[in-house]
Amino acid sequence: MRKLHGQPVIIVGGGRGGFALLELFLEDELVDVIAVVDHDPAAPAIQVAQFYEIATYTDATEAFLACQDVPDVIIYNLTHDDNVAKKAAKVFEGKKVTDGLEAKLFWQIVMNLKRIKEELESSQVQLNAIIYNAIDGIITFNDKGEIEGFNPAAELIFGHDQQDIIGKSIQVLMPDLVEKGDEAFINRFLRSREFGLIGVSGYEMSAQRKNGQRFPLELSTSEMILNGSRYFVCIARDITERKLVEEATRHAAHHDYLTDLPNRALFLECLEFAIPLAKRNGQKVALLFLDLDGFKHVNDTLGHANGDMLLKEVAMRLLSLIRNSDMLARIGGDEFTFILNNIGNEDNAIGVGNKIITALSEPFDLNGSICNIGGSIGISIYPDDTLDPEALLDQADEAMYLAKKKGKNTCKLFTDLHEGP
């Protein structure tokens, strides 16, 4: 069944090139071939187009006039008739036709994709990826780095119009290909494989839009020799959204969904980093383990929604009490942990613990419901109590339970466990 929606395309030339291009576009939902033109009604692409109920013509002008009301139509001229572009310009008011060297390069890409498709028919996933690449941004440039081809998808990605970017250096789109103040670098880059870019699929790099905005780009670049000259064909994909999703996924894996504080996994990771750093600098690290007093009562009487709001408010208060070099995490329920780097001595750690208890003693307003809670805090010190990060957390946990046993709303050191009653 012929596709009803997509980018409108007219193919001029029903021979081998037009047939291959039509075959490729028929398999992609983003493209809608609205006409195929060839003076020979028995041309392969004409026969296929008629099978799929696509309009066919033996005269290019007739086809253009029939399609002149279709917005943003793309015309591929795969013939040697230079008058096709002139005919299109008259009908479509100066519209550029993809022909000449650009069409030949594009045709070679299509033929390469067709060949690769036949080799990879057993893998539908790979096949879909290859076909999709054909309608990503396609940029061709010569061995001087001058852009010679720039398809509509590339215009959307980079924000440059085709007529403005043709002839300019590839550096305009990918500034990192050229070192500062060294224009000759682009030639060295193109003549060597030191960066491993040529012939590599899925190479990620920073690119630049017309407005100066930097964005992540995925590039697949191939090299080809045409009529004795060397050219490069880039299939470019804007991966900004993918990177945002990846970053959001990484963030979600290491942060508490409710308070957005680091979770237990990230806390332990940072603790594993803080201990060797303190050892190297001859410093001490304090680990504080806080368990809220009275939270269960609030949750049971005011509901889970208010309980969640309370945890968020607690997190905000706690963050205001620590330095940028310290860390606060929620490791579960109503339990919070702190890493206090370069704490100096245990008195400083106790001072921070008392500030926390004081801050928690202030009433909380939860949508008009006033509630009061407290906190029990356990403190362990590296290297005084242990050299092992996990043991340090266990010791602070034990000290926290001692604080609860001693009446709550207080803080205790791990060393207090070994003192008499």
Q: Is 294 left (phi over 0), alpha (psi -120 to 50) or beta?
A: left
C-alpha span between 36 and 33 (Å, rounded):
8
Beta strand 335-340 pairing with 364-366: unpaired
Token output for 91: 């009908």
**Residue 134 contacts residue 22 (beta carbons within 8 Å):** no
- Phi then psi for residue 333, to 5 deg, are 45, -120
Place of tokens 């979770």: 263
In the residue annotation, 334 being an active-site residue is answered as yes
For 138, what's the count of Cα atoms within 13 Å in the CB-facing half-sphere?
Answer: 21
CB atoms within 10 A of CB 271: 20
- CB neighbour list of residue 268: distance below 8 Å, 6 or more residues apart: 389, 390, 393
Please name the amino acid found at residue 92: F
Which of 334, 347, 384, 385 is the catalytic position? 334
C-alpha span between 380 and 398 (Å, rounded):
9
Token output for 346: 């245990």
CA 76 from centre of chain:
32
Count helices and strands in the chain by DSSP H and E runs: 15, 16
**Residues classed as catalytic:** 334
